Amino acid sequence: MGPLTGFVRNSSQFAGGQKSTVLDKGSTAMRPMESRVETDFNQALRCVAYRLPKGNRLKETGILLTLGLRYGLVGAASVHHLLRCSRREEERQVMDSAATWPGIVAEHVRSEAAPILGLPVSMEVGEQVGKWARYVLRVAVPLYHRLCPLEMSLSTAADDFVLDHSKEIRQGWNPFLVRRGDRLFRAEADRSINFAINFFERRQHDLEEVPEIALLGE
């Protein structure tokens, strides 16, 4: 059984607001990597679950793309934190765990995000959002090894995502309103970057994700 098998199966309990294990402050570097990965990924799911793109007037495809980008950026921030806290011999385990993030996202979309947003609850939808999250990770995470600051890594990944998915972002929009659709999506992308940066800072202080922070606007 892989380090995240049980975590994937039970991911909905974390997104639903149930409290996960509270960790002793200052203990991050001392916990086994498997535990650190599980904790960070649990918290990443909760971060996104409390910040779903609702009421933003995007078309359905735009909402799904926003989800993929948001999961990807928060996931990248989580991996960045884990790498910062890991020893050199643990980095491979972090990268192997990062490869499981798209599958975790796919299940979380089907079980949690899609029903809340009124989107189709299907394997195909979940897997597509997971693939978009993988795209973001593949851009952002390698920049860590080039000593690129987190904000720049996330911004680069978001910019590449918007550029490479412009056709899908405009899907469903009247030709005379596509620029409005572009602006709406870009605003959501910028919000996702901000969410991911703030999430990283909370992980630095071992703070759990709670809905009150999202409701207060970070």
Confidence category of residue 83, pLDDT binned at 50, 70, 90: very high
Q: What percent of the chain clears pLDDT 90, i.e. is strictly above it?
A: 77
pLDDT of amino acid 30: 53
CA distance 156 to 58: 22
pTM: 0.85
pLDDT of amino acid 11: 36
* Mean pLDDT computed over 5-19: 35
HSE of 148 in the Cβ direction (CA atoms, 13 Å)? 19
Output the DSSP codes for 114-173.
HHHHT---SHHHHHHHHHHHHHHHHHHHHHHTTT--HHHHHHHHHHHHHHHTHHHHTTTS
pLDDT of amino acid 169: 95
* Mean pLDDT computed over 175-183: 94
Confidence category of residue 26, pLDDT binned at 50, 70, 90: very low
To which residue do tokens 């189709």 refer? 120
pLDDT of amino acid 176: 93
pLDDT of amino acid 29: 54
- Asked whether the predicted pLDDT for residue 167 surpasses 60, the reply is yes
CA distance 130 to 99: 11
Name every residue whose Cβ is closer than 8 Å to that of residue 125 and which is 6 or more positions away in sequence: 64, 109, 110, 114, 119
Mean pLDDT of the chain: 87
- Asked whether the predicted pLDDT for residue 16 surpasses 60, the reply is no
* Mean pLDDT computed over 97-115: 97
pLDDT of amino acid 3: 37
- Asked whether the predicted pLDDT for residue 27 surpasses 80, the reply is no
Contact 119, 60 (CB under 8 A): yes
State the CB neighbour count (10 A cutoff) for residue 135: 19
More confident residue, 103 or 7: 103
* Mean pLDDT computed over 119-139: 96
- Asked whether the predicted pLDDT for residue 201 surpasses 60, the reply is yes
* Mean pLDDT computed over 56-61: 89
- Range in 12-16, 147-151, 167-171 the model is least confident about: 12-16
Output the DSSP codes for 71-113.
HHHHHHHHHHHHHHHS-GGGHHHHHHHHTTHHHHHHHHIIIII
- Asked whether the predicted pLDDT for residue 206 surpasses 80, the reply is yes
Name every residue whose Cβ is closer than 8 Å to that of residue 41 and which is 6 or more positions away in sequence: 4, 7, 75, 78, 97, 101, 104
More confident residue, 217 or 199: 199
